[in-house]
Amino acid sequence: MRRLVWIGLLIGVWSLIASTSFATEKMKPGLWEITTSMDMTGMPMKIPPQTIRHCYTAQDVEKGLVPESEGCSITELKTSGNKTSWKTECKGEMAGTGEGQMILLGDSAYEGSSSIKTQGMTMNMKYAGKRIGDCK
């Protein structure tokens, strides 16, 4: 159960990293639907894809925030054109490392992938985000 809570947290954090870290290309503010699929070594079952909705304001897009979770920090962040890549390191109970990349597809969609290694497991994720309208 503890692993599933951690997995959910990582999905949320990595989805937000993915959708807000573009420096030279800008995503369009609004309501976004983000789908994340994942596979993890050592898991007895396949985790179904998760879809969340998140409202990004013009300020969120302009700032290009890269959120960090407690105990984790971004150690490297590179943006070139519409592609952003990063590396992260987590300390403490869930110590580990990770890396990922996202490609912005115009101002209303993106796709990407990441990999996280922690506690002897490797979690591989793929993301897809699309703008579905204005925030309410």
69 pLDDT above the threshold of 60:
yes
Q: Please say whether the dihedral angle defined by the alpha carbons of residues 20, 66, 16 and 77, taken in this order, is positive or negative.
A: positive
pLDDT of residue 67: 54
10-67 pLDDT per residue, tens: 555 554 454 445 444 678 899 999 999 999 877 778 889 999 999 988 888 777 645 5
Q: Give 21 or 82, the one with higher predicted confidence.
A: 82
Global confidence as pTM: 0.73
Beta strands in the chain (DSSP E): 30-40, 50-56, 72-80, 83-90, 96-104, 109-118, 121-133
90-127 pLDDT per residue, tens: 888 878 999 999 898 988 999 999 998 988 889 899 98
